[in-house]
Each structure stands twice: as structure tokens, then as C-alpha cells.
Amino acid sequence: MTRGKAKEFVGHAVEAAAEDFSSVVEAHRPQIFRFLLASTRDVDLAETLTQECFLKAYRNWERFRGESSAMTWLMRIAINLEKDHWRNRRIQFWRHTRTNSVDMDEASEWLPSGERSVEQQMLAREQVGRVWKAVTGLSERQRTVFLLRYVEDLELSEIAQATGLNEGTVKAHLSRALGKVRGELRGKR
């Protein structure tokens, strides 16, 4: 192969990889953003972390071997970025002391009306508010596992891959999280 042809080949490969990556971004960006938004309840932070997640993914795209799905791989990056963010925030507590997290009541306002009556909508909104309250009281791991399962509909095996935990641990975290949500619903009824 001549040098010119080799260059052309590499160029094509890079183009193909970029095209692959852009389709991955298009397919999974909303989901990653949604998970980060639910985790942080901070729109700006969720946007920033989503951008960082895809930047990191782009830099490491060549190393992605397809052992897990692209979604799980991206979710793992997002979870790690979120963890890093909170860790840095704990260390640099003098910076950005203000938090932009949306209030739980405000978060529970978002509910599609559907065909329900006003009363049913109010009840649903109240229940969603209670779930938010319970979610806020969960540990970081429990919250992650809970959101991946009940908001992103991931299977236990996928959650295990995304979080780096084994399935048994995922189940245990999920059970505890669910217990707290159940307790919140039971307590306020």
C-alpha cells in the first residue's frame, strides 16, 4: 500500500468512526441528559455533565469494544462524572456554594395531563412529589440504581454493567430504595 492510499484509508476510517459516534450521540444524548437531570435536579449541571460525558466518550471511542451496549458504556461514564463532580464539590466547598437544584415540588409539577381528571392529576402530582422526597433521601448508589431501573427501564444486568456492581448488590440497593419509597408513600397516606 502506498503512503497516499494508506492516508486515504485512515481518513475513511476516521470519518466512519466519527459518523458512528455522531449517530450514538443522536440516539443516546436525551437519555443521558434525562438520567443526569433526575440525579441532580439541576438543569445546567445536567447539561454540562452530558456534554462532558460525550466529550469523554468521543476521546475514548476507539477503545470502546462493544462488550456492553453503547448506552451502558455512556451511562457508566455519566455516573462516574457525576461522582467526580460531587467529590470535587465536597473538597472545594468554598466554590459555588450556591446550588441550582430544582425544588422537589417544582420537579413534580411535570406530569403529562393525559385523559385524567383534575383530581387524579393532583393526586398523581402529590405521589410523584413523595417519590422525589424519598429519592432525595437515598444514598448516591441507591438513587442511581433506582433511577436506572424505574426511570430508564434498564435491566438488572445493564445496571450492574453501568454501575460496576454485581447483580446481587444492585438488587439489594434496589430493594432498599424501593423500601424507602414505599415507606414514604405509606407514611403520608
Partner 1 sequence: MRFLDQRPEENALLEQTLANFKRSVHAWSEAEYSRPHEAARVYRHTNWRLAAGLALGCVLAAGSVAGGVYERHYRQELAKIAAAARAAKQQKLAAFKSASQTGDEDLLAKVDSDVSREVPSAMEPLAQLMAEGDAK
Binding site for partner 1 (CB under 8 A): 30, 33-34, 37-38, 43-44, 46-48, 107-108, 110-112, 124, 127-128, 130-132, 149-151, 153, 156, 174-175, 178, 181-182, 185-186
Q: Give the nearest distance from C-beta 110 to partner 1 in angstroms.
A: 4
Which cell numbers hold the place of 189?
397516606
Nearer to partner 1, 77 or 170 (CB): 170
Residues near 91 by beta carbon (within 8 Å), at least 6 away in sequence: none
Secondary structure (DSSP) of 129-159 = HHHHHHHHTS-HHHHHHHHHHHTS---HHHH
Largest CA distance in the chain: 76
Nearer to partner 1, 32 or 77 (CB): 32
Nearer to partner 1, 54 or 132 (CB): 132
Nearer to partner 1, 17 or 111 (CB): 111
User: Integer distance in angstroms from the first to the last C-alpha of the chain?
Assistant: 74
Q: Give the nearest distance from C-beta 108 to partner 1 in angstroms.
A: 6
